[in-house]
Structure formats: structure tokens, C-alpha cells
Structure 1
Amino acid sequence: MTDGTTDRETGRDGTGPDRVTLMVGGGIAAALLAVIGSAGGWVLAGDEKSPVTAPVEAADSRSPSAQTTPPPRGRPTPTTAAPSSTAPTRPTGLTVPDLVGMNFEEARHELRGLGLGWQFVFGNGNSSSVLSTNPTAGTPVQRGVTVVVTVTGSAPPNSVPDLLGMKCRDAGAELVDDGFSPRYPTGRSGTVTAQEPEGGAVRKWNDIVSISCGTASSGDESASPQ
């Protein structure tokens, strides 16, 4: 009995109860230190402040800087119309009258009243009526355009007027009225000092009559082209 008690109290390796107590206590202390260490590490880790990232605020759509400007649209390159080779003709409502079958002198009167020129082309017959016109009847024209009038018959005889002493411009106008073509070898100023053929000579329509005009006096004006 005594041996068993002794063995239990002292132990076989010679260690006593105090050593067992220290070992148990040391193990508990180690466990506590481990728990404290892990908790301390968590606390220390919590003390370190991680960098704070500021939240990105949504841009205010009302702010000018936040508005998105769409890219400019490509503007079409303006094209320049190629210049026309001829100026556009404005309609005047004026057309060539129907002169076919009309006496050529009456046809001339109508053309003059419309502000149109005329040129007679005579044929070989005896009729004085208009055969055709160029441009034809109904063609839109501008004032001043010359209409070629073809007459069925030949040019009738015509008497040359006496123009001596007349103002050059008035003499030219009279020649046109009488169916002649005036020429001005010395110009159109002054008065008529000579003419060829002379007054009273018989010629035909469209024949040329030359008139020589002298220096205009102080009261004369320069003759305008007829």
C-alpha cells in the first residue's frame, strides 16, 4: 500500500505533482497565448486603415461639363453650278406673227409695230405676198430680232427720194421707210450733201442708196443708226 501511494505521488520518473501541474498549466497558458495572439493580430490588422476609394458620383446631366457633345455631322460640300455658256432668255410673251399670204409691205408694218426687224428675200414671180418667215409664226422672240421674210414675187421697182439738205439721221430713216438700204460713206453727222443714186431715180426694193453727210452745224445733232 505504501509503495502504490508513493508511486502515484512521486511518479516513476522522479517527478512530483508540481511538475504535472506546471505542464498542465503551461499547456493552458500556451493555448491562451495562441488565442490572444490571433485576436491581437486581428485587432492590429483592423487598426491599419485601408485606402479609402471615394465613390464615383454620377455626373449631373444638368452640368455643362457633364453633357456629352455629339460629334459634328459632316456638312455636304456646297456645289457650284457650272456657269451657263449662254445667258438665260427671259420670256417676253412676244412671238412671230403669222404673215404668210400677207402683202409684204403690210407684213413690214406689222413687224415694225412689234419692235421686230425685217429682211426681205424676193423670188421670181409676180406676187407680192409673203411665202414664209424665219423664225416661223408663233416662235417666241425678243424685241429687236430680225425676221427673214420670203416674198413670192420679185422685188418691185421703187423711186429713190431726194435727200439733199436733210439731216443725215432723217434721210436714213426715210430711205428705210421707202424700202432702201442706206449707206453712210462719210459718217452720219451733219446734213446730206450728196447721194447716189440721185433723187428720182428708179431702183428696186432692198437696193443700196449712199448718202454723204457734211459737218453738222451748231443746231444739228449726230444721226443715229437706222
Structure 2
Amino acid sequence: MTDGTMDGRSGRGDAGSDRRLIVGGGLAAALLAVIGAAGGWVLAGDQKPPVTPPVEAASSPTPSARPTPSPSRGRPTPAPVTSSAAPSPTSGFTVPDLVGMEFEEAREELRDLGLGWQLVFGSSGSSSSVRSTRPAAGTPVKRGITVVLNVAGAAPPNEVPDLIGDSCEEARAELVDDGFTPRYPSGRSGTVTAQDPEADTVGRWNDVVSIWCGAAPSDDESP
């Protein structure tokens, strides 16, 4: 019985020893691996393992590579300020110098240029020369405007023409040429049937002459 017991213990003891040997061998192998790795670093000159640079440093561009923003990027560029002269209202000519001319001669020159005229006479004196104009000489003008002729002396005498039987338009033109101002109490169509003042009446430049066109004046319209 004693031998059997001893053999049984001896068998269990051998199995436990085998397990301890296996565990110890595994620890020894792991230790040798660590020592080998350390020895490799030593043999390699005690080099340190590479360190990965920070993500920020790797992704950040250098200051010199940063594009310089343009001050006008994203904004509309203002148009350059330019000064443009206003369109000229003229027809390519200016008021002529009429000062010192006889007013009838000055009037004809304005008519040839396609300009109107208005005669303004003084209160006294016999001078018929132009003393000033409005607009003044040299002023750019366009065709059709009226130029005022200021005459130095009073309006000279003027004889009223005979207009009976003329068309209203013909009578108007004759009165203007002779220096009178026409007036149309009955309208401006037809022929002249009456006038006031009558023909050959001596008046003055700029006097008003009334003409009745198309019908004789009624009692209410007669001068």
C-alpha cells in the first residue's frame, strides 16, 4: 500500500513540475524578447523611434505660401469718375456782334441766321444804333431763339401799309417786315377785310396793327 501511494504522489508531482517548467519557459522567452529589442536599440546607436509631427504643423501652410488677398476681391470695382461736359444746346454759331449797327441792319443779320429779334427803343433821342444785345455777343445760341436789340434812340416814325385784300399770312409778313406788330381779332385765316390803323397812317416802329381776316369786323370789334 505504501508503494502505491508513493507512486501516485510521484505521478502528480511530475505533472506539476511540467506545468511550472512550461510557464517559466514562456516568461523566459518574453523576457528574452524584451532584452533583444532593447539590445537592438542599443546596437543601433541608442536611436529614438521616429515621432510623428503634429497634425497642425503638417497641415498649416508657411506664411510665405499664404496668398495675399486683393483689397478689391469680392467687391465691385467702382467706375472711374469722369467729368463730361453737358451737351451743347447750340447749332454751331453764336450771337453776332451787333453793337453800333443800325437796328434795321442788325435785324436783317439776325434774320439771315434764323434768329428772332425784338426791338426795344429808348425813351428819347434820334439815334438808331444798337447799344446792346441780350444775349450778349459771342453767346452760343440755337436757331429760333429771340435776340433783344436795345436801340439807343426813340422809335422812329413808320407808315402803315395797305393790307386789304391780302391773305392773312401775307399781311402778317408785310407788317413784320415794316416793323409793326400784327394782331388778329378774328383769327388768322382768310383774306384781310379790315385793318386798324388804316393804310398810310404814320405811326412808329413796334406799333400794333390789327387786321381782320375772313370777315369784316363787327361793331363790337371795330376800333
- Scaled to the shorter chain, the TM-score interval is 0.5 to 0.7
Matches within 5 A, 1:14-25: 16-25=6-15
Give the helix-richer structure, 1 or 2: 2
Distance of 1:91 and 1:97 partners within structure 2: 14
What is residue 165 of structure 2 aligned with on the other side?
Answer: 165
Aligned equivalents of 1:97 and 1:167: distance in 2? Answer: 34
Cα distance per residue 1:158-188 (max 9 Å; x no partner): 0000000000000000000000000000001
Distance (Å, rounded) in 1 between the aligned partners of 2:177 and 2:95: 21
Separation in 1, partners of 2:205, 2:140: 28
TM-score, normalization by structure 1: 0.63
Which consecutive unaligned segments of at least 5 residues does structure 1 have? 1-8, 36-72, 77-86, 216-226
1:211 corresponds to which letter in structure 2? I
Q: Deviations over 1:43-94 (max 9, x none)?
A: xxxxxxxxxxxxxxxxxxxxxxxxxxxxxx5769xxxxxxxxxx96533212
Q: Tell me the distance in 1 between the aligned counterparts of 2:106 and 2:191.
A: 31
* In 2: Cα distance, 1:32 partner to 1:99 partner: 138
Q: What code does the residue aligned with 2:151 have?
A: V
Report the TM-score, using the length of structure 2 for normalisation: 0.63
What displacement does 1:32 show?
5.0
Corresponding pairs, count: 159
Amino acid at match of 1:109: E
Give the letter for the 2:156 counterpart: P
In the alignment, what sits opposite 2:120? Answer: 121
Q: CA deviation at 1:15?
A: 5.6
Following TM superposition, by how much is the alpha carbon of 1:27 offset from its aligned partner in structure 2, in angstroms?
Answer: 4.0
Q: Distance in 2 between matches of 1:88 and 1:186?
A: 43
Question: How far apart are 1:26 and its partner, in Å?
Answer: 3.0
Identity among equivalent pairs (%): 61
